[in-house]
Structure 1
Amino acid sequence: MHFHGYEWAGDGRLLAKESERRPVDGSGFRLSELPPMMTGWWLLRPAAQIRGTWETATEATEWLANRYEEQTPNGDTWLPIPTRRRHTAAQLAQGLDAVWSRWTSDSRWSGHYVIVCPNRAWPGFPCPAPAR
């Protein structure tokens, strides 16, 4: 098991373009940079969209925390980063995907995703890139 990281930040109104977020023939899904509707669907995207690959849940969690803190410098008072890190590392170690996302302004969305590969929820999906 290893972990692939993905991210997207932009005008949150673009998230309404659901046809680009679902793997339907002719939808533009494969080449879209918008986050898919389901986490495992990231594995259907080109490997060029992968922002990092890690062997351990701890490494993947650190990437999530660092990227999230860059987008949210003051953090979230309702869920401190150390608590979020601890729960995410345990979640990833169990083979479950993790998403850290939020609105960073009235219209801007920031999302960071770590997807487990191979993926238990989507066992038929091929890995887009080998582990390092």
Structure 2
Amino acid sequence: MHFHGYEWAGDGRLLAREAERRPVEGGGFRLSELPPMMTGWWLLRPALQIRGTWTEPEQATAWLAARYESHTPGGDPWCPTERRRRYAEERLGRGDDLVWSRWVSDSRWSGHYVVACPSRAWPGLRCPVGEVSRPSPVSERQNGREHGPRPR
């Protein structure tokens, strides 16, 4: 397993353009820079959208915390960054995806995403950098299922 990092910051009103955020034919999904509706769907996007790839949860979490802090100086008073980091490392170690996002002004949205690859929720998706990704039997047992939903 490895992890890919993605980010998007911009006018939050653009998030209403759902056709660009869902992998439906004719919706412009592949070329859109808007974040997908489901985190695993980032893996359907071109590799150029990847901001980093890591093999260890600690590496991915360090990137996530740095990017979040750059868009949210001082972090979130309700959940200090160090607490977030500990939680993130634990969740990534289990093969879960992470999203750290927030409104940074009345209309500006900042989102930072770390996606486990292979995806436990979307096991049929290939790695966007060309690796064939299959969930390990361990991650399937932890998830409690062998097959997840598939994108339409």
TM-score (norm. length: structure 2) = 0.85
1:74 positional shift: 1.6
2:38 is aligned to 38
2:69 is aligned to 69
1:76 positional shift: 0.8
Question: Unaligned regions of 5+ residues in structure 2, if any?
Answer: 132-152
Give me the whole-angstrom Cα distance separating, in 1, the residues matched to 2:122 and 2:9.
Answer: 25
1:115 aligns with 2:115: yes
Give me the whole-angstrom Cα distance separating, in 1, the residues matched to 2:76 and 2:110.
Answer: 14
2:150 is aligned to none
TM-score (norm. length: structure 1) = 0.98
What is the RMSD computed on CA atoms of the aligned residues? 0.9
Identity of aligned residues (%): 71
Q: Give the number of the structure with larger relative contact order, counting CA–CA contacts within 8 Å between residues 6 or more apart.
A: 1
Runs of 4+ in 1 over 4 A off after TM superposition: none
Question: Unaligned regions of 5+ residues in structure 1, if any?
Answer: none
Question: Who wins on radius of gyration, i.e. which is larger?
Answer: 2
Give me the whole-angstrom Cα distance separating, in 2, the residues matched to 1:6 and 1:72.
Answer: 16
1:75 positional shift: 1.1
Give me the whole-angstrom Cα distance separating, in 2, the residues matched to 1:106 and 1:11.
Answer: 9
Aligned residues: 131
1:94 is aligned to 94
1:130 positional shift: 5.2
